[in-house]
Amino acid sequence: MADHYEVLGVARDAAPDEIKKAYRRLARELHPDVNPGAEASERFKEVTHAYDVLSDPKQRQQYDLGGQGGFGGGAAGFGGFGDIFETFFGAGQGSRGPRSRRERGQDALIRLEVGLDEVIFGTHRDLEVDTAVVCETCNGSCCQPGTSPVRCDICGGSGQIQRAVRSLLGNVMTSSPCGSCRGYGTIIATPCVTCQGQGRVRARRTVPVDVPAGVDTGVRLQMPGSGEAGPAGGPNGDLYLEIKVKTHEVFSRDGDDLLCTLEVQMTDAVLGATAKVAALDGDVELELRSGVQSGDVLTVRDRGITHLRGNGRGDLKVAVHVITPTKLSGKERELVEQLAALRKPKSPELGHFQQGLFARLRDRFLG
């Protein structure tokens, strides 16, 4: 075996900086990407091994005392990429190292339709979602059980390949992901047969969802970690729920207020009455005063929708619509005529224009 000092061309009492400087010079000349010959490749291995031994104080001391030294921790061949990168790119920059197979999973978006009655106090749903989940066979390792990834022989586990590129400044070393292992530094020699080496599979799973009170159409809820599982056992992405509130046949919504219309018979409007309204969260009794008019709005406090942010609820607003009968029996007509005679009505006269019922309801509902 050649003497390590002779291989590097330095004296036996050379300082560490002299040894490093000699190694850099020889590595530039003999690196396989610059000098692809077989003889240069063997010389490069010798130079690298000699430097590994002499740059380590303990191994150098053992070598100087007559031991072989250096074979345990040396990087024979192309394994010593830390020093190689330092040689070509300067101290302190080093290799970026292989990239991880584990990646974060993708986010998912689901549109969830809920009823108006469900958003008053909020609701719970168990959603069935088709998504990516961790493979149970390999538990996300990508390998068939009993096997593990093996180091890439092409890049020596670094995940990077260096090449010399000629430029105006001379030969410049560039680094790119290894094409054999795709930059991972390892190769899945025996992929899991269940997930084909992905570490995850498509499956249906149940996602429990608590829809908060007060949500409205267009609101998006974020559920961290409930999205797709990442490759190779990577963390899950997030799940986003886009809410759509279904249209109700009776009630409509204005912010956190509930709106509806109560049809009242003419006699009840004249005499007054008590009406029971089936609200979304239970019955409500309304007192109709004598002489109530179409377009009047009765407000029931705190019977609307719970505020999405903060405490309290909106109101229930009930618009009165007085029904004028179109068909009367003989007895009914007689009674109405008697009422008209008692009230001594005068002939109809022109007066100030009054807007229609729906316009008045809009103004009163919306303030």
Instruction: Please report whether residue 354 resides in a domain.
Output: yes
Ordered per-residue pLDDT tens for the chain, 367 residues:
568 888 888 888 889 989 888 888 888 787 766 677 777 777 888 888 888 888 888 888 877 776 444 433 333 333 344 444 444 443 333 446 788 999 999 999 999 999 999 999 999 999 999 999 999 999 999 999 999 999 988 888 888 888 776 666 567 777 888 888 889 999 999 999 999 999 999 999 999 999 999 999 999 999 999 999 999 999 999 999 999 999 999 999 999 999 999 999 988 998 999 999 899 999 999 999 999 999 999 999 999 999 988 789 999 999 999 998 888 888 888 887 887 788 776 666 665 555 555 555 566 555 5
Instruction: Please report whether residue 23 resides in a domain.
Output: yes
Identify whether residues 116 and 241 lie together within a single domain: yes
Identify whether residues 120 and 230 lie together within a single domain: yes
| Cα→Cα distances 14→6, 18, 86, 280, 355, Å | 12, 6, 20, 91, 105
Given a contact cutoff of 8 angstroms between Cβ atoms, the answer to whether 30 and 43 are in contact is yes
Identify whether residues 202 and 323 lie together within a single domain: no
245, 279, 314: which is the final residue of a domain?
245
pTM of this prediction exceeds 0.85:
no
User: What DSSP assignment string belongs to 92-124?
Assistant: TT----PPPS--PPPPEEEEEEE-GGGTTT-EE
One-letter amino acid for residue 365 of the chain: F
State the binding site: 135, 138, 152, 155, 178, 181, 192, 195
Instruction: Please report whether residue 96 resides in a domain.
Output: no
213, 245, 277: which is the final residue of a domain?
245
Residue 322, domain extent: 252-366
Identify whether residues 199 and 277 lie together within a single domain: no
Identify whether residues 141 and 233 lie together within a single domain: yes
Identify whether residues 116 and 85 lie together within a single domain: no
Identify whether residues 281 and 311 lie together within a single domain: yes
User: What DSSP assignment string belongs to 268-295?
Assistant: HHHH-EEEEEEETTEEEEEEEPTT--TT
State the binding site for Zn(2+): 135, 138, 152, 155, 178, 181, 192, 195
Instruction: Please report whether residue 235 resides in a domain.
Output: yes
Given a contact cutoff of 8 angstroms between Cβ atoms, the answer to whether 307 and 256 are in contact is yes
Residue 334: strand, helix, or coil: helix
**CATH code of residue 344:** 2.60.260.20
Residue 265: strand, helix, or coil: strand
Identify whether residues 282 and 359 lie together within a single domain: yes
Identify whether residues 322 and 196 lie together within a single domain: no
Instruction: Please report whether residue 42 resides in a domain.
Output: yes
| Residue 354: φ, ψ to 5° | -115, 130
Instruction: Please report whether residue 232 resides in a domain.
Output: yes
Triad 77, 81, 86: Cα angle to 5°: 130
**CATH code of residue 67:** 1.10.287.110
Q: How many distinct structural domains can be found in the chain?
A: 3
Identify whether residues 240 and 258 lie together within a single domain: no
Instruction: Please report whether residue 57 resides in a domain.
Output: yes
Identify whether residues 218 and 239 lie together within a single domain: yes
59, 89, 119: which is the final residue of a domain?
89
Instruction: Please report whether residue 181 resides in a domain.
Output: no
Identify whether residues 215 and 262 lie together within a single domain: no
Strands 150-151 and 186-187: antiparallel
